[in-house]
Amino acid sequence: MSDERSLAVEIYDEIIAAHSVAEARLTWAESEDMRYTLAHVAWDAISTVLARRQREAARTGPWDGA
């Protein structure tokens, strides 16, 4: 699987995860603005996936001179 495809799959999985759906329902109930709700959920999912990938990259290296 290409890196772009695996990133897209991770983001999709994060968006449809139970905790993301629950947060979307709460956000929708508070704002009643679907555009805001979708933007919020997408931003949160993308941020979560990118942070996870950064932690993994930092943990595994490669480290020059190590």
Q: Which domain holds residue 49?
A: 3-56
Both structure tokens of 9:
């799959």
More confident residue, 4 or 31: 4
Domain count, the chain: 1
Question: pLDDT at residue 1 above 90?
Answer: no
First to last CA, the chain: 29
pLDDT at site 2? 83
Scanning the structure block, which residue is given the tokens 């603005």? Answer: 33
Both structure tokens of 33:
């603005």
| 13 belongs to a structural domain | yes
Write out pLDDT tens, residues 9-51: 999 999 999 998 898 888 888 777 888 888 889 999 999 999 9
pLDDT at site 44? 94
For residue 49, the Cα-to-chain-centroid distance in whole angstroms is 4
